Amino acid sequence: MRFLLAAALLFLALPTAAEAAHTRTFSRGETFDEQTGETLYAGICQGCHMANGQGAAGAGRYPALAKNPKLEAAGYPVTMVLRGFNGMPTFAERLTDAQIAQVVNYVRTHFGNNYADAVKPEDVKALR
């Protein structure tokens, strides 16, 4: 009887198919599995720069990416992602050239930014 009760409780604790479909998958940590600019931003950047790119202040200062004129020069955000700056860590060893191009292009075309000249993986490679 105890076995049946334990099995029933375990079954009830399992996520439903709908819940499982919405479960976030985390990257391994040394590198990131996300491939699109949107998923890379959500998985890495928004923890500091916030979901809508407005930045934050508190334990540290995280600059706004929304309507940021510094993003006009495509090499600027690429360099920030590659080398880091102040409290921002470097992602050169954790992201591929394609991933960096994707997330930079996402930021440069969202949050009130409209910089249409897309960064290519070759551009990132040249700045490494």
Q: How much is the pTM?
A: 0.76
Alpha-carbon distance of 78 to 128, in angstroms, equals 9
CATH number of 34-127: 1.10.760.10
pLDDT (tens digit, 9 = 90+) per residue, 1-39?
Answer: 654 444 444 444 455 544 444 444 455 667 788 899 999
pLDDT at residue number 23: 46
Query: Helix/strand/coil (H, E, C) string of the chain?
Result: CHHHHHHHHHHHHCCCHHHHHCCCCCCCCCCCCCCCHHHHHHHHHHHHHCCCCCCEECCCEECCCCCCHHHHCCHHHHHHHHHCECCECCCCCCCCHHHHHHHHHHHHCCCCCCCCCCCCHHHHHHHC
pLDDT band at 41 (very low <50, low <70, confident <90, very high): very high
pLDDT band at 99 (very low <50, low <70, confident <90, very high): very high
Q: What are the extents of the domains in the chain?
A: 34-127
What's the full length of the chain, in residues?
128
Least confident piece of the model among 6-10, 61-65, 68-72, 89-93 = 6-10
